[in-house]
Amino acid sequence: MTDPAMTERGMMGSSGVASPENREAMVSADDLIGANIYSINEGYDESSWNQTRSYGAVEAGWEDIGEIDDILMSRDGRMVGLAVETGGWLDIGDDTVVVSLEDVRIVSENATHSVVTRMSQEQLEAKPELDDSWWTD
């Protein structure tokens, strides 16, 4: 999702500026933080994934693999990734990892938002854990 077309047209309209005219194309960070993240699991079609910018509903075959813990921004103000909490059980043993925007799509269903990734839970759990030292290195 680091595709400029997505960030400018899909998220903020063709001008790239947030305005009342294109508010329906935007999602509040408050709506995403704490939202569920689903895995599309194996068997997704790469070309279909690349052509799809968002989904209208959570599909039956998707697996709930965690939740969005934070939204990561670059120093120049661009959204660059999501901090995703995954693994564990009842918040015990969870890991927080960074997921690139190219690996996620927003799901908007009846004013409720979630995220789907093409990565499996195992792939997420294999990523380096995001902790306080991540920010200071």
Domains of the chain are 29-136 (2.30.30.240)
**Measuring CA to CA, which residue among 27, 43, 14, 8 is closest to residue 105?**
27
Give Cα separations from 48 to 44, 84, 92, 107, 115 (angstroms).
8, 24, 35, 15, 17
pLDDT of the residue at 11: 40
pLDDT band at 103 (very low <50, low <70, confident <90, very high): very high
Q: Between 57 and 132, name the one with better pLDDT.
A: 57
H helices present in the chain, as ranges: 4-5, 29-32, 46-51, 121-125, 132-136
pLDDT in tens, 44-89: 788 888 888 888 999 988 999 999 999 999 999 888 999 999 876 6
φ/ψ of residue 90, rounded to 5: 50, 45
